[in-house]
Amino acid sequence: MAVLRRIALVVTVVLTAAVTTAPPAGAYPLPGRVTGDISVHDPSAVKRPGGGYLVAHTGHGVALKTSTDRIAFRNAGSAFPGGASWTTPYTGGDRNLWAPDLTYRDGRYWLYYSASTFGSNRSAIFLATSPSGDSGTWTHRGLVVESRTSDDFNAIDPDLVVDDQGRWWLSFGSFWSGIKMVALNPSTGLRSDSVVRPLAGRNGGPIEAPTIVKRGAHYYLFVSFDYCCRGASSTYRVMVGRSSSVTGPYVDRNGTALTSGGGTEILAGQGSVHGPGHQDVFGDVDSDVLVYHHYTDSGASRLGINLLAFDSAGWPYLR
C-alpha cells in the first residue's frame, strides 16, 4: 500500500505540474481544429451574449464570420457592405479595412478598425457600434485617432481595454516608435485627451498588434514581433509583458521593459505553421482563448485558435 501511495503521489505531482508549468521554450501546440470559412487576417473575436461567436477581420468593409461552437466558421458578410466613404482619405479608395478590434459591452458591439495603405503611417482608427453585430447594422461613430507622416507612430491595430476603475483605453501601433495608448471617453468611445502614451517599442523595429487583458493582479500586453504578410516566409511571433497598471510600465519575464525591446515569446512558427500573430484574447467558459492568423506552406492565411493558461508564476502559455 505504501508503494501505491507513493505512486499516486508522484502522479498527482506530475499532473499538477502539467497544469501550472508552461511547455519548454519553442515547443508550442499546433492550432486547434477549425473548419469552414477560416481564411482570415488580423482576427478579433467575442463570445456573443446569446451564444456562439463573432469574428471580425481585415477585409472589404471589415469582414465578419460567425461560429456556434468555436470550430466551424462561416462567412457573415461585412460590417459596411455599402462601403465606408469616410475612410477614403486614408485608404486611397481601397475598400479593405484593417485589423479590427471587436468588443461586446453595455449591450452592444464596439468595433475599432484601421484605415491606411501598406507601409504608410498616414493612418486612422475609427469606431462603429451595432446592437447585433450583424452585417449592415453598424453605425459609424467617428474618428478616434489618426497619424500623419510627420508623427513617430502609426494609428493602426487598435485594441480596447477597460481598467479596474472603469476607465477606457485604446492601445494601437505598428512599427515606427512602437505601441501607444490613448484615453477614451466611456460614453462615446472616442478620444478624451491629447496625450499619447508609450507602451512598447523596438527602436523602430517590427512590433505591432497590441492586445491587453487583465488577469489576477496584472495587465498583460500581447504584441506581435517581426514580419507579417509574407505568406510562408512570414516571421510573426507572439510576445507578452505585464504590468500592475494598464498604462505600464510593462516588463517581460526577465524584467526587461517592453519600451526597451523586451517581450516573452509564447508562440512562434513551427513546421507548416508560419508567422502566427496579430493575436486577440477573449474569455470563454472553458478557458481564455487566443485567436490569431498564421500561414500555410502555400502562403494562405488561416485562423488559429488555442486555449491560454497561466503558469505558477502568472505568465501565459498556450495549451
Residues belonging to the active site: 42, 208
64 neighbors 133 (Cβ within 8 angstroms): yes
C-alpha cell at 256: 526587461
Sign of CA dihedral 106, 283, 227, 65: negative
How crowded is residue 249: how many other Cβ atoms within 10 Å of its Cβ? 16
- Provide the annotated binding site: 42, 119, 154-157, 174-176
C-alpha cell at 316: 501565459
In sequence order, the 6+-apart residues with CB closer than 8 A to the CB of 311 are 20, 21, 22, 317
In sequence order, the 6+-apart residues with CB closer than 8 A to the CB of 1 are none
DSSP state letter for 319: -
Q: What is the C-alpha to C-alpha distance for residues 111 and 108, in angstroms, rounded to an integer? A: 10
- Provide the annotated binding site for substrate: 42, 119, 154-157, 174-176
Q: What share of the chain is helix, strand, coil (3-state, %, to 5)?
A: 10, 45, 45
Strand partners, 66: 54, 74
The DSSP string of 235-265 is --EEEEEEESSTT---B-TTS-BGGGT--EE
Q: What is the C-alpha to C-alpha distance for residues 58 and 243, in angstroms, rounded to an integer? A: 29
Q: What is the C-alpha to C-alpha distance for residues 155 and 182, in angstroms, rounded to an integer? A: 11
State how far the alpha carbon of 261 is from the alpha carbons of 158, 175, 201, 229, 312, in Å: 20, 12, 6, 22, 25
